[in-house]
Amino acid sequence: MELNNYRSILSTLIESEILLSTPQNATCDNVKCTPEQFASPALDHTFSAHPPLWNYENPTYSYPYAQTGLPKVFETLPPTSDVTEVLTKTRLLVFLGAANTPTFRRCLAEPGVFILIFESNASRVAHFASQVRPSRLVNRALILLGNPDELIPPLSDILPPNLFNLGFPVFFTLPEMATPQQAKKTIEAIEILFYRYRIYSLSGQGNFCNLPMRPIRKELFYDQQFHFYSNIKEYLRWLSIQPLRKAFLGETAVLVAAGPDLPNHLQYLRNVRDSAVIIAVNNALKPLLQAGIHPQFVVANDTSVHTTRSWEGLDPVPDVYLVAHCLTNMGGNIFPRKFIFGNHKPEIFGTRPELRLHGSVISTAFSLARHMGCAKCVFVGAQLSSPDPWTMSYSKGSIHENRATNHDRPLTDRWPQLVPVKDMAGKTCYTTLNFLDAAHWLRDDIRTAQIPCVNISSQTILHGPGITLHPDYPIQPTGRLPLRLQRISSATEKRPALEPVGEFVKHELREWINIENEVASVLQTTGDDFFTRAKKTLDQFDANNVTYLVQRFDNFNNKRFHADVFESKSKDVIAEGLRSYFSKVFQMAKIMQSSLVSNFQ
């Protein structure tokens, strides 16, 4: 077959959306090998028996269901697994190396299977496609040509989340496939996406109190709903982040997180404070203030009640602006001016610009710098890792300051040990799956934003294309920073109309009064009437988000509630479970009413 025919095959694959490639392979000009170089049959793909990332996840989440007989969300297969055994466990297969091997043919013939193929050699892809008709690959396979770190758009945007509903990814490799290091990077990239789309939805703060035991409506969880009501006055008073858009065009942003080496860089921050826009994450604010360093901005996006600890004990800081998600705690009177991003009930409170964020608030800080028009970003304390295999480490003075652990404890290479990773200097450190995912996400965001970034610490897992190491990076002031800060201090914006907000608050208050009255009536019912009335009301609360709210309220034990009410055969146990549930709803309704009244008068 002529080389031009090989190039034509690749073009057909690209047009059929079977092949995606890095920019340097997009024209197919890298096909330079002759067919004879691939004439000998490739060795078979072999099952990869590497320890998967989910070894470091709580095994509770591998089977979070109340019912039996469902497939596990994830599991670690025996190292001796063959292709037939693999196909009983998952329908998502990843082949490292493009070749029409017996294992590949067996998997392609299996109904419902989707195959990802990673290959760095365009000629090998062309030879593979000359043996496997493209029509057999349509909607069944996707070939990714080149280094996954160089794909545009990034892998996380190429692969849809629902792909991972097919099951956990299992890998097969060719003996001649790339280097072990490149294979490991590719495997990690896919496994971290599986974590992002399947495991985090169970273990993350939105759902870990509500494993999928039965269908219920899920909107805001309790912390978010409480903050929403608490922030109503804030929505009426403060601006969105729209006035910050390109307000610092050309400036350098210094993004400060609360990693354990933050104290080593405090003098650097003092030196650059007047030359750069310093954006601190909420957890880094206390150690900075204790060192006499006031960032111009602090950003908060954690919508859980734990954010409150970031502000506890702080006096007002008149020169620090807060940029906060609309559903987080906004620090009361600590900040002289606040900018709000994110939306809930935009039909009442107006639509605000969003910030891209994922996994860690340092991603929000980068998104804010990008929104502001900053030309470069310098990361300080953004390590996302720990020297301790058993717990994450944070800066002295932060709300998560280091806790002593048993460093002599033998490693287990599985949960609750943290994930071993390499930092920028190539040294082993440890991190959570959530932070590893956040690092992957932020690397992709940095690369696609094409904003040059510097990390001043090598003890970080935030490294890759677009990020360089410079321990004492000098920042040349533009001379325009003071004027720009002055301008945003006087920015104005149209605020929400007061009357619709007032009507909304009255409506919400009536809803919670009705919930309180309904629960009180149920709790006063006895005998068989109680079970009939309780079941009907529980169904209503499952359908209108009340159940989802109460699952994060006041240490409510959802697992015990489900066991008592849906699994027990004892009427006394069922009744006790229902009464405990309704008592929590009653208390929650009182708190929600109080929050609405006190925050809108």
* DSSP code, position 51: P
- Shared domain check, 469 and 507: no
- Shared domain check, 27 and 118: yes
Beta-ladder partners of 498: none
Number of independent structural domains in the chain: 3
Calculate the alpha carbon distances from 328 to 97, 302, 314, 332, 341 in Å: 46, 6, 17, 11, 10
Q: What is the pLDDT of residue 215?
A: 86
Assigned domain for 581 exists: yes
Condensed to tens digits (0 to 9), the pLDDT of residues 230-245 reads 999 999 999 999 999 9
Q: Residue written as tokens 């006394």? A: 572
Condensed to tens digits (0 to 9), the pLDDT of residues 500-539 reads 999 999 999 999 999 999 999 999 999 999 999 999 999 9
Task: Tell me the pLDDT band of 39, cut-offs 50, 70 and 90.
Answer: very low
The enclosing domain of 347 has a CATH number of: 3.90.1480
Phi and psi, residue 33, nearest 5°: -85, 155
Last residue of a domain, one of 439, 458, 489: 489
- Shared domain check, 80 and 43: yes
pLDDT at residue 208 above 90? no
Task: Look up the domain containing 357 and give its range.
Answer: 238-489
Which region among 29-43, 187-201, 351-365, 564-578 has the lowest average model confidence (pLDDT)? Answer: 29-43
Closest listed residue to residue 386, CA positions, set 444, 430, 326: 430
Beta-ladder partners of 173: 46, 96
Closest listed residue to residue 368, CA positions, set 259, 480, 255, 289: 255
Assigned domain for 31 exists: yes
The mean pLDDT value for 396-424 works out to 85
The mean pLDDT value for 75-88 works out to 96
pLDDT at residue 32 above 80? no
Judge whether 464 and 260 are in contact, CB under 8 Å: no
The mean pLDDT value for 485-499 works out to 92
- Shared domain check, 186 and 303: no
Beta-ladder partners of 297: 279, 321
Assigned domain for 358 exists: yes
Judge whether 72 and 65 are in contact, CB under 8 Å: no
Last residue of a domain, one of 438, 466, 489: 489
Task: Tell me the pLDDT band of 1, cut-offs 50, 70 and 90.
Answer: very low
- Shared domain check, 529 and 471: no
- Shared domain check, 255 and 197: no
Last residue of a domain, one of 433, 466, 489: 489
Chain-wide mean pLDDT for the chain? 92
- Shared domain check, 68 and 173: yes
Beta-ladder partners of 530: none
Separation of alpha carbons 47 and 236, rounded Å: 58
Q: Which two tokens stand for residue 584?
A: 């929590």
Separation of alpha carbons 570 and 20, rounded Å: 58
Task: Tell me the pLDDT band of 22, cut-offs 50, 70 and 90.
Answer: confident
- Shared domain check, 368 and 284: yes
Separation of alpha carbons 322 and 341, rounded Å: 11
- Return all residues near 378 (Cβ < 8 A) that are at least 6 apart: 252, 253, 254, 255, 272, 276, 453, 454, 455, 456, 473, 475
The mean pLDDT value for 177-185 works out to 79
Task: Tell me the pLDDT band of 13, cut-offs 50, 70 and 90.
Answer: confident
- Shared domain check, 165 and 268: no
| Better-predicted residue by pLDDT, 399 or 344 | 344
| Better-predicted residue by pLDDT, 10 or 199 | 199
Condensed to tens digits (0 to 9), the pLDDT of residues 83-139 reads 999 999 999 999 999 999 999 999 999 999 999 999 988 888 888 888 898 889 999
Q: What is the pLDDT of residue 15?
A: 84
Task: Tell me the pLDDT band of 601, cut-offs 50, 70 and 90.
Answer: low
Judge whether 374 and 251 are in contact, CB under 8 Å: yes
Q: Which two tokens stand for residue 230?
A: 């608490």
For 432: left if phi > 0, alpha if psi spans -120 to 50, otherwise beta; the answer is: beta
Assigned domain for 208 exists: no
Task: Tell me the pLDDT band of 256, cut-offs 50, 70 and 90.
Answer: very high
Assigned domain for 8 exists: yes
pLDDT at residue 204 above 90? no
Task: Tell me the pLDDT band of 37, cut-offs 50, 70 and 90.
Answer: low
Judge whether 588 and 580 are in contact, CB under 8 Å: no
Assigned domain for 405 exists: yes
Q: What is the pLDDT of residue 346?
A: 96
Assigned domain for 230 exists: no
Within the chain, what is the greatest distance between any pair of CA atoms?
85
* DSSP one-letter string for 449-488: HT--EEES-SS-S--BTTEEE-TT------S-HHHHHHHH
- Shared domain check, 324 and 258: yes
- Shared domain check, 577 and 447: no
Q: Which two tokens stand for residue 25?
A: 């392979």
Q: What is the pLDDT of residue 31?
A: 52
Axis crossing angle, helix 361-372 with helix 433-449, rounded to the nearest 10 = 10
pLDDT at residue 478 above 90? yes
Separation of alpha carbons 565 and 283, rounded Å: 40
- Shared domain check, 520 and 483: no
Task: Tell me the pLDDT band of 218, cut-offs 50, 70 and 90.
Answer: very high
Assigned domain for 222 exists: no
Which region among 11-20, 35-44, 144-153 has the lowest average model confidence (pLDDT)? Answer: 35-44
pLDDT at residue 486 above 80? yes
Q: What is the pLDDT of residue 407?
A: 63
